[in-house]
Structure 1
């Protein structure tokens, strides 16, 4: 009897078969619903962030395009001044380009002063879930910049310095727009005016922001180093022009993954704060999938139309041909750079900023840059070798962050985050009672 009871029929009955199919269909429907819900949550943060970043970055792109159709020297100068902006660069470049880049950089000082105020305002409004406002204000600045460039290109000859001044003005339009919205009634529940309470907990804020700043600075500046090293190794103005176009195009596209960086950070932090480890993992997977799909699409476009991309910035056929030669490296860089911002977003959500800063420093500046110089100088591969070496740094960084994310003890992270949220809520309640 016992032996007989353990035996199972070779074929399931119709009712059992139907039950298994129903369970399977239910799980599939549930997965689709969860995915769609998560996609909407991610895009709610990523969408406005992407639009805002693209609009603001396009201010510099439009200026570079305007300068590139004046002459190639102006293109190199404005590209260096807007993408690198560092005094040490000028000594490494061809003399005429370096002198003009230095002049442009001086005129762009007001734009760089605006960054401090702008990024603070952006983070404040993102914390209030006012991301759509950031997008509208950034779009307004972009429209104003387009109109200014069209007007002066049609009626006046203002040169590259005039283009820099217009860029300054447009950036400050976005800063003033965000500031007026925040202090003039747009954030009634969180803005109570200027107060000395803003300085409370300043040291903790400084430690966290310093780690984040170093982490993002090492990352965002990395491919700008290509221009510096290319100039220092004696490459021609044509090489620098082509490289500047590629780096500008890369910077334009990476504004989209950076939007997913922000969205992933918010979603992971929210889920961990709620004690939901599985929710944080699921949000990471969905964000990574979307970002890879978008990166693949852009990589295909770059490979299909490299000449059209170059013609946005220049009419010089020699530069256009050089961009065509670099298009494969640009496409691979774009694809890889759609993966690692998501892992960086996970790091922001988990509070791993200092760890990622160390990973970025080692991957980029201990592996990538030295290997690129070796391939360029000792193997005679030129700019392609330099870029290939630096691309290897991105591969190392992406793999390292992927391993850290996979090995993360998510349940432990969720418990710790939830505990911090509860303690903070109790502390806030005590303060209100007193």
Structure 2
């Protein structure tokens, strides 16, 4: 064959080879992503389901008890959950990067350090539950409901401590792409919860006591299963036994956990303020009911987004630990685009069927009409939700939690809420104005995270991750000598 013909043939073959390589890389990346995202999404839906089931059975006990349960869960437990989940995301950064760098022995030590930090945080939250009644009364809640909440709040103390094990083990197992066990345990726990709730509240008539005992078991059963899996051979490479090294170098873990907790709490409070501001409006009953339906739909969609957040965090941290900056960028693009496509589908659905969706939740025509009116805002919220949490996951994987705290403060509390008050109350757009203001804050926050992610020197981030890991690495021999059991 002549040289010219050979050269032409090579030029024709090269694009085909590149295309095949891209397809292979996409297939491999999507497999790694869904191994984390799939179980994470399902597990979050199951956890969300525990609260829905409890709320349904408490609703059959009485209206006062239902209102008290909703207050304790929404105002008190959401705050505690945000703090502990955020604190655990610091572990997600460390475990993901250590696993990528094959520093397997460090994952077990990071897990134990996280238990110490999260247990301390949970203990600091206990007084909030002990003094629930005066706190809720001071917030302007009905005294009868606040008094009933005192009993329910005390039952929630074991639930708060369950999050210590639950969140930390989830982060530990996700970093290794071993979170299918969490899904199996979640399904089992949810099934037990449905049966026990019926048995204790409806059959034996134990009321709130029965509902809360079932709830506590529903949260603790997966924890026991996760602990057995981790410590009894499910993670042979990464769990080397309990070690006194867990008590060393705690301060950097505390700082990372606190900044992570602040990042998550600022986002959760942002949505709670939307309901609070709406409650002061005229005809607040219809406004709040319609908004609650929209936020419930938004919350369900958020379970999907949080699954992609976990996937983004694990993929970024793993590749940073490996030292492959190109793989980091490829992973980010893949997970963001996948989540965005799902967001576009949901956006289209709620624009097309906005008049019908409300009747799945209510028979009230006024509320349904208000939901239909708010559906375009809901659709845009779902679209933003498909990007913003994923970018937060990138930040967690890279260890930027403290940076995101400042971004959230500025975009949410200095821009979003003031705009919401201006549009809702001053310009008198009511709930639409408040929501538009909040969306402006979320949009700017998403834009900021996109710019930060795009401008990041990922080669430098690989060096930062390596320095972090080398600073806390433990020699295998010293680990063996210091192991307590």
TM-score bin (small chain): 0.7 to 0.9
Q: d(CA) in 2 for partners of 1:78 and 1:310?
A: 24
Q: Which of 277, 287, 297 is equivalent to 2:335? A: 287
Secondary structure of the residue aligned to 1:84 is helix
Indicate yes or no: 2:75 matched with 1:84.
yes
Q: Which of 42, 45, 56 is equivalent to 2:36? A: 45
2:170 counterpart residue number: 122
Q: Does the Cα contact within 8 Å between 1:78 and 1:160 map onto a contact in 2?
A: no
Q: Which of 451, 455, 458 is equivalent to 1:403? A: 451
Provide TM-score, normalisation by structure 1: 0.84
Query: Gaps (5+ residues) in structure 1?
Result: 1-12
Indicate yes or no: 2:29 matched with 1:23.
no
Q: Does the Cα contact within 8 Å between 1:75 and 1:241 map onto a contact in 2?
A: no
Report how far residue 305 of structure 1 moved: 4.3
Computing the radius of gyration from Cα coordinates, the structure with the larger value is: 1
Q: Which of 375, 384, 387 is equivalent to 1:336? A: 384
Secondary structure of the residue aligned to 2:427 is coil
Q: d(CA) in 2 for partners of 1:96 and 1:283?
A: 52
Report how far residue 418 of structure 1 moved: 3.9
Which has the higher relative contact order, 1 or 2, with Cα contacts under 8 A spaced 6 or more apart? Answer: 2
Report how far residue 80 of structure 1 moved: 4.2
1:139 counterpart residue number: 187
Q: d(CA) in 2 for partners of 1:252 and 1:320?
A: 19
Report how far residue 362 of structure 1 moved: 1.2
1:298 counterpart residue number: 346
Secondary structure of the residue aligned to 2:298 is helix
Q: d(CA) in 1 for partners of 2:421 and 2:31?
A: 44
Q: Mean alpha-carbon deviation: is it higher for 72-81 or for 346-355?
A: 72-81
Q: Deviations over 1:389-423 (max 9, x none)?
A: 11111001001111111111122222333455567
Q: Which of 373, 391, 398 is equivalent to 2:421? A: 373
Q: d(CA) in 2 for partners of 1:109 and 1:423?
A: 36
1:415 counterpart residue number: 463
2:266 counterpart residue number: 218
Q: 1:428 to 1:170 in 2, by over 3 A?
A: same
Q: Mean alpha-carbon deviation: is it higher for 268-277 or for 334-343?
A: 268-277
Q: Does the Cα contact within 8 Å between 1:69 and 1:315 map onto a contact in 2?
A: no
Q: Does the Cα contact within 8 Å between 1:300 and 1:331 map onto a contact in 2?
A: yes
Report how far residue 326 of structure 1 moved: 2.1
Report how far residue 354 of structure 1 moved: 0.3
Alignment: residue pair count: 421
Q: d(CA) in 2 for partners of 1:280 and 1:205?
A: 24
Q: Mean alpha-carbon deviation: is it higher for 146-155 or for 249-258?
A: 146-155
Report how far residue 102 of structure 1 moved: 3.6
Q: Deviations over 1:113-152 (max 9, x none)?
A: 3222321222233344321111111122222233345667
Q: Does the Cα contact within 8 Å between 1:48 and 1:134 map onto a contact in 2?
A: yes
Indicate yes or no: 2:249 matched with 1:201.
yes
Indicate yes or no: 2:45 matched with 1:54.
yes
Secondary structure of the residue aligned to 1:380 is coil
Q: Deviations over 1:265-288 (max 9, x none)?
A: 221122222222111111000000
Q: 1:89 to 1:236 in 2, by over 3 A?
A: farther
Q: Deviations over 1:20-48 (max 9, x none)?
A: 33222222222121111111111111111
1:428 counterpart residue number: 475
Q: 1:28 to 1:72 in 2, by over 3 A?
A: farther
